[in-house]
Amino acid sequence: TIPVILDVDTGVDDALAILFAIKHPDIEVLAISCVAGNASLDQVVENTLKILDAADAPAVPVAAGAQRPLIEPARSASHVHGADGLGGVQLPVSARVAETVSAVELMRRTIMGSERPVTLVALAPQTNLALLLRTHPEVAANLERIVFMGGSASVGNATAVAEFNVWHDPEAASIVLDSGVPTFMYGLDVFNHVAVEQPVAEALAAGTDPVGRIVGALLGNRIAVSEDDPGEYTGLIGDAGAVCALVEPESLRIENRPVRIELGGYGRGQTLVDMREFAGEDVVHGLAEEWASIDIALEVDGPRYADLFLKTLGLK
Ligand code: BDR
Ligand code: CA
């Protein structure tokens, strides 16, 4: 199994990702850390605990982390995820409680206490990760790699060029990228191409399987959002795709590319990806040799991941 820590801002698609990670037999969720992003920190913690119940998960430690980005105030994403972060999908109050330690301390303990190197899966603004790596740099030696949903080598969503998770805390993303930990980027280039078709989502929502009803409702919410914004969010499994990438990388086209985070001006939060054929060798026009070189997913077999998602949850 792959031992992972999930860092989340639950979030409609973070919820789908947690369900998938808990249910997949090859993934072991050691801990979940929460951060403000799609919703306020308190709301993210509450949603995360509820989704663990929905997944019938064993006891997984959950901790609250950063309430806001390193520099800027937190910004609302309620136009995508609703005021409650779950698009109004009602779930019973959970009897689970969050740890009393901070997310950074939970991550540190979990990583240092693990016999096997841990994969840190970030599905949210990377504030918690940046704080962890700056406060406890020793964790890097016991990390297998960081897998993050964020960024883009093409289009943005929060702005024309910036993806939400990176845009929400660009300084944090920059710290993580420069940490030297092997990093894999699952950005909008693939995120935007893994969707469950609307009739399938509707049938799940109207069905009898309890997990299927929740998944159908969450996906239905994505589809409803996309009606105002055609083509943008149609039935996307979103963050869940980044977790699929842990177990089925062969359905992706991956390239190693120099990347850095734009911190200033109109491009703030953009992931600058050097796609030139001579990237990395050019010392004159671009300083690419100073950029972090990371693996980036550029193409995905979307139907394959949608299938993997549904089958893992026993919904196909
Ligand atoms: C990312 O931003 C959030 O809205 C989603 O949960 C996902 O992690 C997509 O840009
Ligand atoms: Ca997210």
Tell me the CA–centroid distance for residue 239 and ligand 2, in Å: 6
Ligand nearest to the CA of 222: 1
DSSP state of 299: E
Confidence (pLDDT) at 259 = 94
Confidence (pLDDT) at 228 = 57
User: 36 CB less than 6 Å from ligand 1?
Assistant: no
Confidence (pLDDT) at 276 = 81
Q: Model confidence over 5-18: pLDDT tens digits?
A: 999 999 999 999 99
User: 14 CB less than 6 Å from ligand 1?
Assistant: yes
Confidence (pLDDT) at 223 = 74
The closest-lying atom of ligand 1 relative to the alpha carbon of residue 158 is 10
User: Which residue minimizes the CA distance to atom 10 of ligand 1?
Assistant: 164
Q: How many helices (H) and strands (E) does the chain have?
A: 12, 9
Tell me the pLDDT of the chain averaged across its residues: 93
Q: What is the ipTM of this complex?
A: 0.98
Name the pLDDT band for 286 (thresholds 50, 70, 90).
low
Tell me the CA–centroid distance for residue 32 and ligand 2, in Å: 13
Q: Model confidence over 221-263: pLDDT tens digits?
A: 877 766 655 555 579 999 999 999 999 999 999 999 999 999 9
Confidence (pLDDT) at 58 = 98
Look up the pTM and report it. 0.96
Confidence (pLDDT) at 78 = 83
> Residue 155: CB partners within 8 Å, gap ≥ 6?
161, 188, 192
Confidence (pLDDT) at 75 = 87
From residue 188, alpha-carbon distances to 64, 80, 102, 224, 260 in Å are: 26, 16, 30, 20, 16
Taking 60 as the threshold, does the pLDDT of residue 192 lie above it?
yes
Q: Around 5, how many Cα atoms within 13 Å sit in the side-chain half-sphere?
A: 33
DSSP assignments along 127-191, one per residue: HHHHHHHHH-GGGGGGEEEEEEE---SS--SSSSSB-HHHHH-HHHHHHHHTT-S-EEEE-HHHH
User: 18 CB less than 6 Å from ligand 1?
Assistant: no
Confidence (pLDDT) at 112 = 98
Tell me the CA–centroid distance for residue 286 and ligand 2, in Å: 31
Q: Model confidence over 55-92: pLDDT tens digits?
A: 999 999 999 999 999 999 988 888 888 889 898 899 99
* Pocket perturbation via mutation, ligand 1, pick of 239, 244, 271 by most ligand atoms within 8 A of CB: 239
